[in-house]
Chains A and B, each alone.
Chain A
């Protein structure tokens, strides 16, 4: 299909959808000059804020290559800091403003650049994206920790309550200021880019970073300045929008970024004037819908997802991304593929352990265990997507929600377990539909479209009266007379399902299909030139993902005995992805560990002191931990396994300590949190002990020549060594390179 035909088709579908929604929802507000003027006047300040925020995105992305998904969260943080200084600490407003805008925001940019982003810039795209999502989650978590979300944080509009009346429409001073600031930012940036030495340097880096570096540009300096500008833009946008939303909450502010994504994508992520046009379009569409439409129950949330829909359309209208030739970023081997037999053994051990442990658990703990495993099943779906195919799909809950709905829907017609299978199949089909953008979009654009997909599903589709409406009740099934009503039995049931799906995935990965998927990830060009259809392969991967996540979603609904939209929020979905990434996206063992990690965080949150920092843990924990991906992009499981190969004793000690802590906790009926603390404490002690012992043994055997190869694994990758460094190869390398201690060089 030619470009023009495709664009026309997309345009027609969009217009059709718009008319389909508009016709019944038309509020009957007459289209008069005054009303149109009103829309424009309302849209302008909103557009200004989006434009400022999107400008920050574009500046950072075009100079450093990192798309900062945390842009909104940074703005949120700055807005809260402004509230803290100006309201809580009663500082003069202007002083607080100057402090936040010109001291705190630039400092944030500088720190982020120095300690995080510069290292991320060299990482594979998936790691970059997960890194910035981690930052977003961390900031969100920290903000909810410091500023209790149950209180309100009013920021008075700038310029007071007055304003200017234009044709009967009151334009507040705050909005006039907003429009002015947006214009000033645009002019200032244009001047900076076109007429200053710094701007020329920055543009040179955009065009060709290597060439620019050869001509004496310091890329580090440019990257710092971009981050400073980006964070200042974020802060401006955050502070300007805060007074406009009635109840400032960390999450709303962080998610406003989706609105600027659309603007940035319309600007193709590098064109600033087009970014402003995009921002204006988003602003106009949103105000139009709130002015002229009478959105009833069904579409009441439409204005909140409109920017996401626009983003989606903008992404689909981008010119087809060509198959990349020449691999720029080295691919990482993301997984250690277990043999079929060891996977089978692991599955039996898992089920056996659950069978032994479940009856011993209290009802509450059994439910918590179940929730962890259910999350694991949902995340299993992401293993083929993120791990094998390398497709950045960030909407696990969107698929899980479909599974929950289908389980509820088919429960009346068939036995519950069968309904679960049907739910998997239906979600598989939805997965294929969700794969359609992936056929055109790659990398960053794919990630953005999946976030838009997640938002539309959660905030629009799941709310429909035909889907969840308010709430659906589910009954737990029984299998051949075996009741699953007790939490213990259900925990075992979910574990069995996890084991079965994990085994199926392991088999699939070692099959022809698995090889084909990994081949496609490593080189799309080569795969398609060998007769492999990228379209079919991607669709199949999405179908597999849909089946696993769909069954997971069904289990989630069954475990809680109800299904509703609130179970599948987008941000929590991002936290799931982070937790999975921390452990490693390519392995079928990672999801259950990730799920149990989430469960552990929930237990700490609930068992520890009320409120306070623990509330923030479920988001901030995965967020902060995900930042560690910078040094270990393959995930912790690989690190631990490799470490275990070289230091078996230390590993045995560590694992033993964890179990001992857990056992003491359960045996003496300590509160969950204390048990965790004990386990972690013992683990740390064992860690120190283990490394002391292995250090001594290493000195004794190797004469202190070679250090811990596993620990330097990530750094080894930096100089092109992907396989674990054995003593023999390290020695050979030492000899060739003429150095006496490779490990020291690597550090």
Chain B
């Protein structure tokens, strides 16, 4: 079943089309990687899906329901969670409180959730227990990224959007996150869409990969298919003469 449906989305800022005519559908239970050079429109597309940026044209559907005109918090209540490329942590709260905020909010649409239990579980799972009581602003960027991930998971999403989840992380952490994300998809039935620059990470992890260039969807397929496509090689390595 299709969980996320991006239908012919275009976003224009003045004369510049950051995203043009992108259509994408993400079936349930997979990891979808979105790649593309800087300025390809990946983050803008994420913002449109999350509801922070309204599309100029086009529709977004979540689990078959049109959410194009819904504000971000209504989409979150339908099971959408995300992290941010430029971090948006709750900097003056502690790590634990960051997670609690998300778990508390979740009680509005999900019964029987105990925020404390959720928080303790996630702290353990993402290995943030040691820094649980630290103020987030005081932590290094890599750890803040993990806090964002934990916080997004605390909202109990069906669809998780990860914007550059691995940047600023050590190799060790990247591997850990990789296996955690796999586990989330396989054991918990989560669907993940991730925007990435780290090619080994995205190619090793994703079931499907889509590529944006200059706001357009130029390729889509399995990681192996994508790596062989001339359009992809062109965008990343330049035109072969």
Q: Is B178 an interface residue (CB 8 A)?
A: no
A723 interface residue per 8 A CB criterion = yes
- Residues of A in contact (CB 8 Å), total 30
Query: CB-CB contacts of B62-103 with A at 8 A, as 1s and 0s?
Result: 000000000111011100111010111111110001101110
Binary flags per residue of A513-555, CB closer than 8 Å to B gives 1, else 0 = 0011011011101111111111000000000000000000000
Chain B residues with Cβ below 8 Å from A326 are 86, 88
**Is A740 engaged at the interface, CB distance under 8 Å to the other chain?**
no
Contact A529 B77 (CB under 8 A): no
**Interface pair B106/A325, CB less than 8 Å apart:** no
- In the complex the two chains form, what is the Cα distance from A515 to B90 in whole Å? 10
Q: A331-B91, A519-B93, A534-B73 are in contact. Are A527 and B108 (CB under 8 A)?
A: no
B76 touches A530 (CB 8 A): yes
B81 CB contacts on chain A under 8 angstroms: 529-530
Asked if A327 meets B88 with Cβ closer than 8 Å, knowing A529-B82, A530-B81, the reply is yes
Q: Check: B155 CB closer than 8 A to any chain A CB.
A: yes
Contact with B along A307-341 (1 / 0, CB 8 A): 00000000000000011011100111110000000
Select B90's contact among A518, A528, A531, beta carbons within 8 Å.
A518
Of all chain A residues, the one with the shortest Cβ separation from B94 is A515
Q: Which residues of B contact A531 (CB under 8 A)?
A: 73, 76-77, 102, 105-106, 108-109, 155
Minimum C-beta distance from B229 to chain A (A): 31
A631 at the interface (CB under 8 A from B): no
Q: Quick one: which of B50, B87, B92 contacts A529, CB cutoff 8 A?
A: B50
Which residue from chain B places its CB closest to the CB of A326 in the assembled complex?
Answer: B86
**Min CB distance, B118 to chain A, in Å?**
13
A722 to B73, CA, bound (A): 31
| Chain B residues with CB under 8 A of A512 | 100, 104, 115
- Contact across chains for A529 and B76 when beta carbons are under 8 A apart: yes
Flag if A331 contacts B137 (CB, 8 Å). Answer: yes
CB-based contact A327/B91 at 8 Å: yes
Contact with A along B149-187 (1 / 0, CB 8 A): 001100100000000000000000000000000000000
Interface contact B73-A532, CB-CB below 8 Å: yes
Chain A residues within 8 Å of B77, by CB? 531
User: Please, how many angstroms separate the alpha-carbon atoms of A525 and B76 in the complex?
Assistant: 12
Closest-CB distance, B188 to chain A (whole angstroms): 18
Task: Decide if A516 touches B73 in the complex (CB within 8 Å).
Answer: no
Q: Shortest CB–CB separation between residue A668 and chain B, in angstroms?
A: 47
What sequence of 0s and 1s flags, for each residue 112-128 of chain B, a beta carbon within 8 Å of any chain A beta carbon?
00010000000000000
Contact B101 A527 (CB under 8 A): yes
A531 CA to B107 CA in the complex, in Å? 10
Of the candidates A519, A523, A528, the one having the most CB atoms from chain B within 10 angstroms of its own CB is: A519
B47 within 8 A of A: yes
Residue contact B92 to A331, C-beta cutoff 8 Å: yes
Bound-complex Cα distance A515 to B104 (A): 9
Q: Report Cα–Cα, A89/B51, bound state, in Å.
A: 65
A523 x B52 contact (CB < 8 A): no
Beyond A529-B81, A531-B77, A531-B108, whether A722 also contacts B138 by CB under 8 A is yes
Expressed in whole angstroms, the minimum distance between the Cβ of B120 and any Cβ of chain A is 16
Asked if B23 CB lies within 8 Å of chain A CBs, one says no
Other 19 A-B pairs with CB < 8 A, given A526-B90, A527-B101, A529-B82 = A326-B86, A331-B137, A334-B92, A512-B100, A515-B97, A516-B101, A522-B89, A525-B72, A526-B89, A527-B90, A528-B52, A528-B72, A529-B73, A529-B75, A530-B76, A530-B105, A532-B76, A722-B135, A722-B138
What are 8 of the A-B contact pairs (CB < 8 Å)? A515-B100, A515-B101, A518-B90, A519-B101, A528-B52, A528-B73, A531-B109, A722-B135
Closest A-B pairs by Cβ, 4 of them: A531-B76, A526-B88, A326-B86, A523-B88
Q: Chain A residues in contact with chain B, CB under 8 A?
A: 322-323, 325-327, 330-334, 512, 515-516, 518-519, 521-523, 525-534, 722-723
